[in-house]
Structure 1
C-alpha cells in the first residue's frame, strides 16, 4: 500500500522504516523545513529501546547519549541537599537505557531510512477526503495525491487529528504545567554527567552539561494563563516574569537566554481519544495518545506504537480495519497507565507547596536504598509488553 505519514519526528520515521520492511510504500510529509533540532533530553528505555535495537540503533544511541552518574538537588546557594546515583538502579535492568536529546534520537531514526523513503519538507496536509477506498489528500503546497492510508504522526498539536477527528480541545487534558528548554554554549558553572535541579514551590529548574561545552536547561512551572505559541520573544518574556523570584542560578540563566541556539516551550498536556483511527486514517505517537512531557517516555512510546502498528498491518495482510483495532487493543492499556502515572508526577516537577518540596527531597535521598528505588521506579523500567515479530 501507498501510505502517507504526516510528521518526521520520532513516530513517523520509525513507522516508515518498518512499513518499508513489510513491502509498503511510505511517503513522509513534514511541516518544518528540515529535521527539528534542539528541544529537550529524554530518558529512553523499555520497549522503545528494544525497538531501537531491532533497527540497529543501539550502538549509536549509546555513543550519542549520556549516562548521568548523579541526580542532585541543590539549595538557593548551590549546596547539595539530596542526591542519588541513577546508574546503580539502571544497570540492574540491563543496558537498555540512555539519556539522549530528542533531536539526536530523531536524527538516528531518520538516518536508518537511508534516503529510501520519499520525504517532502516544508509542507503538510490541507484536507483529507476518505471515500472508503482511498484517501484524497490536498496539501498546503504540493499537488493533491491519493493514498491507501494516512497516518498522523504529527505530534501533540496534530493537524491530521484536527482534520479527521475534531478540534484539539475536545481531546486534550491540560496538566497545568508549562515546560521550556534551551541550550547555551560556554555556560558556567558546569558539572559533568550530573543532572542538577533546583526546586521551589511552583517550579523546577534542571541543568545538565552536554558535549562541546554546551549546557541544556529545562524549566517546569505551574502556569494557569495562556502559553504563547511560535513566538520566542513572548515565550522568553513569560519565563522571566514567572521565574524572576527563583533563586540559585536562575537569574544568570535567564540573562543569557537570548543567546540560546534552540528554544522550546509548550504546555504539559495529554491526548485522550476513544479511538486512534477513523476509516483509513489513523494516529500514532503523541497525536494519538500523548502521555505529556511529565511522563518521560513519550519518545519510547512513539517508537513502540509505530512498530506495533506496522506489525499489525503486516499480520492483517493489509486489512486496515483489523490492523487498526489490533494496534489500539494491544497498546491502549499501557498508554493509559503511563498517562495516569504522569498526572501524579506534577507534584514532583512543580510542587504546589513547601510540604511537597520537602517530600520530593526526601524521596530523592531514599533512591540510594536499592529496595526503595526498585519499589518506586524499578517496575517502570520494564514495559509490560511482548513486542510482535518484526515484519519483513
Structure 2
C-alpha cells in the first residue's frame, strides 16, 4: 500500500515511522528545503511519553532533553518573584516527563527512518481521487499515484483546504500571537531556568538550555498589531516595538535580535472538525485537531494520532475506510475534551484577574498562587489518551 504524507513535522514523521514499521510504502513531502528549524520546546508526558517509549527513541531523546529546574516570574521592570522549583512540581504532577527542542525531536525521528522517502522542497498542491487511488500533483508539477493521502501540514493545513469544504472545519481564533527565536547570548543563559516576564497583554518566556542557548518566546494580544508580518525584518520590528519597555533578560534578548536569522511567528488558534477523514484523505495532528500553541499539547496529540492511525491501517490490512473510522472513534472524544479545556488552561497566557491580584505585585512565594496550580497541576493536562496494543 502506497501512502503520501504532506508535511514533515512531528505528526508526519512519527506517522511515517509507524507506517514503515508495518511495511507500508511511504513518501513524505515537505515544502521546506530541510527539516523545520524554527522552534520551541516540546513537552511530552503521559500518552505522548509512552508512544516515544514504544518507538524505542527515549535513549536518543534523553541525550538531547532539557531539564528545567527553576521558574522565576518578573514584571516588565524585571522585579522578580521567589524562584519556584519547577522540576519538583513537574515530577509530582506528571510523573514521566521529557522536554526537548522541536528541531531535535524531528531530527531523531527522521534519523530513524529507514525506507521512507522524504522529498524536501516540494509539497502536494492538489489531488484527484478515483475509485482505486489518489493522484497527487506536486508543487514541482509532477504527478504520482497513491492509495491514500494524509495531511500532516499543521494548523494552516493546505491539505485541509483542498480536501474539505469550508463548512467542514472551523478555525477558532484565540486573538493571541506567538513569536519565538533562539538566542545565543551568555548573559541570558542561567542553568536551565525558566524566566517568565509578565505584563497585562504581553508576556515573554526565556528558557535557558545550556551551551549559551536560550529559547525566547513572546506572546501578545493580537489587537496590538494591524497585520501579520511576512518578512524576517517585519517580525523583528514588531517585537522591538511591542517589547521595548521590558527590562532584564528581555531587553538583553532584543539587543541581539539583529543577529537572529529565523523567527517563528504565528497567530494562536484551534482547528475543530466533525470528521478528520474524507474518502481516501485523512488529517493528522494540528491539521485536524490543533489544541492551540498556548495549550502545549499539540505534539502529544500528534504522536498518539500517528500511532493509532498506523496501527489501525495495519490491523485492517490497508482497509482505509475501516481504519480511518476506528482511528477517529478511539481518539476524537478525548481530544475534543482536551481542546475545550485547553482554552481555560493556557500554559503561557495569564488571565488579567490573576495578573492584577497576584503577579503584578510579585509578592511572596508564587507556589501558593492558584494560576500555578492550573499551569502545572491542571487535571485536564494529566488526562491520558488510551493507547491500544497493536501486534
Please confirm whether the aligned pair reaches a TM-score higher than 0.5, indicating the same fold. Answer: yes
Question: C-alpha distance in 1, partners of 2:213/2:249?
Answer: 16
Match of 1:269, SS state, is strand
Contact residue 200 and residue 357 of structure 1 kept, 8 A = no
- The correspondence of residues 1-392 of structure 1 with structure 2, limited to 5 A, is 1-92=1-92, 96-114=96-114, 116-166=115-165, 171-224=170-223, 225-228=225-228, 230-345=230-345, 349-351=348-350, 353=352, 355-359=354-358, 365=365, 367=367, 373=373, 377=377, 379-380=379-380, 382-391=382-391
Question: C-alpha distance in 2, partners of 1:300/1:100?
Answer: 13
Question: C-alpha distance in 1, partners of 2:145/2:274?
Answer: 27
Match of 2:111, SS state, is helix
Contact residue 366 and residue 373 of structure 1 kept, 8 A = no
Contact residue 189 and residue 213 of structure 2 kept, 8 A = no
Q: 1:388 to 1:243 in 2, by over 3 A?
A: same
- 1:341: Cα distance to partner? 2.2
Q: 1:390 to 1:93 in 2, by over 3 A?
A: farther
Single out whichever of 187-196 and 23-32 deviates more from structure 2: 187-196
- 1:100: Cα distance to partner? 1.2
Question: C-alpha distance in 2, partners of 1:120/1:324?
Answer: 25
What TM-score, normalized by structure 1, do the two folds share? 0.90
Single out whichever of 309-318 and 76-85 deviates more from structure 2: 76-85
Q: 1:355 to 1:301 in 2, by over 3 A?
A: closer
Question: C-alpha distance in 2, partners of 1:227/1:168?
Answer: 25
**Gapped runs of 5+ residues in structure 1?**
none
Q: 1:325 to 1:297 in 2, by over 3 A?
A: same
What TM-score, normalized by structure 2, do the two folds share? 0.91
Question: C-alpha distance in 1, partners of 2:172/2:26?
Answer: 31
Contact residue 75 and residue 359 of structure 2 kept, 8 A = no
Contact residue 200 and residue 246 of structure 1 kept, 8 A = no
Match of 1:107, SS state, is helix
Contact residue 50 and residue 96 of structure 1 kept, 8 A = no
Single out whichever of 219-228 and 349-358 deviates more from structure 2: 349-358
Question: C-alpha distance in 2, partners of 1:220/1:305?
Answer: 28
Question: C-alpha distance in 2, partners of 1:15/1:380?
Answer: 25
Count of aligned residue pairs for this structure pair: 388
Q: 1:11 to 1:135 in 2, by over 3 A?
A: same
Match of 1:349, SS state, is coil
Match of 1:23, SS state, is coil
Question: C-alpha distance in 2, partners of 1:2/1:358?
Answer: 57
**C-alpha RMSD over aligned residues:** 2.7
Contact residue 280 and residue 320 of structure 2 kept, 8 A = yes
Contact residue 65 and residue 98 of structure 1 kept, 8 A = yes
- Residues 259-300 of structure 1: CA distance to partner in whole angstroms, max 9, x if unpaired? 124311101111111110010000000011111111111112
Question: C-alpha distance in 2, partners of 1:9/1:351?
Answer: 28
- 1:337: Cα distance to partner? 2.0
Question: C-alpha distance in 2, partners of 1:281/1:76?
Answer: 47
- 1:26: Cα distance to partner? 1.0
**Gapped runs of 5+ residues in structure 2?**
none
Contact residue 8 and residue 30 of structure 1 kept, 8 A = yes
Single out whichever of 218-227 and 150-159 deviates more from structure 2: 218-227
Match of 2:317, SS state, is coil
- 1:169: Cα distance to partner? 11
Question: C-alpha distance in 1, partners of 2:109/2:363?
Answer: 35
Question: C-alpha distance in 2, partners of 1:356/1:204?
Answer: 11
